[in-house]
Structures are given as structure tokens and as C-alpha cells.
Structure 1
Amino acid sequence: MERRRVSKEEVVQKLKDDGDFDRLRVNIIRRLKDNEELRNKMISLVKESTALNRPGAQNMKPRQLSDAIFEQVGSKMLSQLSDGLWGIIRSEDGMKSEIRETVQSVYATLSNTGGVQEGPSTREAERNIPTPFQKVKPVLVQGVNRSKR
């Protein structure tokens, strides 16, 4: 089977078009939200903030209080979220293997000449995952295969 050279951009576009990117993103976010330790750290940061515990805080509008808390502990919270996110992405039992396998599968599909698929990708079929958008059938225009967008 003949192989063709595939660019990073083509792989990323195929990941987006097939819904793989969105599926991976949703799985990462779900795992991040399920991280009890991280959630407890965030709650602790907010509870211990001086903005929440200062006199008159109970009389502030929710948005004002939220902004004051974020100003005080926001960068620390974002740093912890970032660390948690990268931990999920890099962990072998987390998403690292799934991301690698998905990207390799897309690359293999694109690099095989004639390997451009119509219909659900093999990754969708294997996992029986619906895509977040409706697939559009390719249309033959003057002998060139183009997809409606």
C-alpha cells in the first residue's frame, strides 16, 4: 500500500472534522471535574481567602465577591487547574494513550493513499461515539471530490 506525506495541519483538521478532538476534550474535562483532590484544593483556597472572610463580604453582590476572590486566589487556582489538566493528559492511565492512539489512527488513515474515509471514522465505530455535528456526504463536482461545508 502506498503512503503519502501527511502534514500536522491535515491530521489536526481530520481530528476536528471527525469529532475526535471534541470527544477527547470532553473526556479530559470530565476527568478533571471528577478529580476530588483538585476540587477539594479549590474549595479550600476559596474558603481561606481573605476576600471571602473580610467584614462586609456577606453584603457584597455575588459578582463583586467572585471578582474579589478571583483577584486574590485566581492565579493560584488556574495554576492548580493547569497542573491537574496536564497530569490527566500525560498520565498513561489517563488520556495519554487514548490521545496517542487516536492521532496515530488518523495519521495512518490519511497517509494511506485511497485511505480517506467516508462515513464514521474507525475510532467512532470502535467506540460507538456520536459526533457532535452532522456528517456531510462528499459531492462530486467537475470530477473533483469536495465536501459541502
Structure 2
Amino acid sequence: MRTLLFIILTAGLLTACNQSEQKAEQEQTLEQQVNSLVEEAKFEDAMAILDGRPTSPEVVALKENVHLQHGIYLIYNSDPSQMRENANNALREFIAVLEINPENEKAIAETEQILGIYRTFPDRSPEPEIMEKLKELGFEI
């Protein structure tokens, strides 16, 4: 009898804890959800949440931040053997940031830094499509 009572109480407690965790996740603000995914380097998941929302100043600001953090991640946390690909992908992310906010100082600085590295290798440059977009944004290639 005691064992049965213990099992029932344990099952009830587990169910209650699970429901409170689900409720806590549902109560997170959009910003908290997105920032949590960014902290886990789940940039595509964060963008998927934002892409499903109507455009608002909050959504636009969060998209800007996700692109920025993704670009930074690609440069500083990725496999060094894939540096050229990572640099091109990071530049794509920084371009997305600058299309949202042309005055984003961090995106400008990171882009300039990557371009400076490319300038040290005479036979290397970003992909042509990226170079064209950077020129449109006012960068000297």
C-alpha cells in the first residue's frame, strides 16, 4: 500500500513539475526566447521564431542582433580549417545587419576587420556576390 501511494505521489509530482516547466517556457518573452537560442548558438531556430512574427520594431531589433551574433560566432568560434567559408558566411550575416541598421558600429568594425585580413592575401577576396553587396553598402574592397 505504501509503495502504491509513493508511486502515485511521485507520478503526480513529476507531472506537476513538467507542467510548470512548460508554462514557464510559454511565459518567456519573445526577446528571452530568442536570446536563449542565441546563447545556445541555435541561430537558425532563433530566426525561425522571428520569421514567423509580424514585423515590429522589437522583431527587427532582434533580427539585427541574431544576425550580428551569428556573424561573430562564425568568425570567433568556428573551425579554423573552414576560415574562408566562415568569413564569407560571417560577411553575409554582417550585410544582413547593415541592411537592417546601416549604422551598426559592431557590424561595420567586424566587416572592416575581415576585409583587412583579406587585403593581406593578394590572391584572396570574398565571394563576388558579397563583394558587390559590400560595395553597395559603401565598403572599399
Q: Which has the higher relative contact order, 1 or 2, with Cα contacts under 8 A spaced 6 or more apart?
A: 1
**Which has the larger helix fraction?**
2
TM-score (norm 2): 0.25
